[in-house]
Amino acid sequence: MEQEFIYQAKQGDTAAYESLVRQHQEAVFRLACLLLGDAGDAEDAAQETFIRAFRSLSTFDSTRPFRPWLLSITANVARNRRRSIGRYFAALQRLVIITPRETGNAESESIQQWEAKTLWKAVQTLNVIDQEVIYLRYFMELSVSETAEILKVEQGTVKSRLSRALSRLREVIRQDFPLLYEGRQA
């Protein structure tokens, strides 16, 4: 079905493209949220991603999966937006993207959410290469091969980047987020 939508969208069918957007908007929006740290910016970035993708559809190889291609554009769009340094720091200061999830076990859920949010804050302090690989692999739960396709690198490079990023993350958490670090030790 996705192949058919892509074929029709390549012919200029915007309705078919809207269906494709609907299928992938959550993944694109979430990656943009992680990278930009602000839901409003992420929504703008997601829209820009899909509009760019539509205009570049003729260059997309339909034999390849669509999602990595889209997420690769998302990462580029987010990177460009973060270069607008003022917006980036303002977003960092707000740190407001997390909304509580409905749950039956409020206490354990809130601890989990605090840990997840604190982990995200720690990742935000890493360089962009480390951030991207951690977000794609652990937050978005993508496979190594999909992550490699998005980052346009070999799978071995993904593994070595992950290893370096995890080690830097551990240092950041140990130094700047001691409560999270102690939680891990517990």
Partner 1 sequence: MSEQQNHDEAWEMSVQDRAKAFSYPATPDIAAAVGRTLRPPQRRNSLRIMARAAILLILLSIALLFVPEIRASVLEFLRLGAIRIVPQTPAPTLSPSQPLSLLDLNSVASLEEAQEIFRLPIRLPTYPADVGAPDRIFVIEDPGTMIILAWLVPGTEDQIEMSLHMLRSEELADKYYPWEPEITSVNGRQAFWLVNAHVYDFFGTVGNQSTDWTRYVNMNVLIWEQDRITYRLETTVTLEEARQIAESLQEVTP
Q: What distance in Å separates the CA atoms of residue 149 and residue 97, rounded to the nearest whole number?
A: 27
Residue closer to partner 1, measured from CB, 17 or 66: 17
Which two three-digit tokens encode residue 25? 């908007």
Nearest approach, Cβ of 179 to partner 1 (angstroms)? 13
Burial of 49 (0-12, 13-18, 19+ CB in 10 A): buried
Give Cβ neighbours of residue 173 (< 8 Å, ≥ 6 apart). 119, 122, 180, 181, 184
Which two three-digit tokens encode residue 106? 């409020």
Residue closer to partner 1, measured from CB, 92 or 166: 166
The position carrying tokens 């992680």 is 34
Is 80:22 a contact under the CB 8 Å cutoff?
no
Nearest approach, Cβ of 52 to partner 1 (angstroms)? 4
What is the contact surface with partner 1 in residues (CB under 8 A)?
A: 14-15, 17-19, 21-22, 25-26, 28-30, 33-34, 39, 42-43, 46-47, 50-52, 54-56, 76, 79-80, 83, 85, 97-101, 112-113, 115-117, 119-120, 127-129, 134, 138-139, 141, 152, 162-163, 166-167, 169-170, 184
Residue closer to partner 1, measured from CB, 26 or 64: 26
Nearest approach, Cβ of 109 to partner 1 (angstroms)? 8
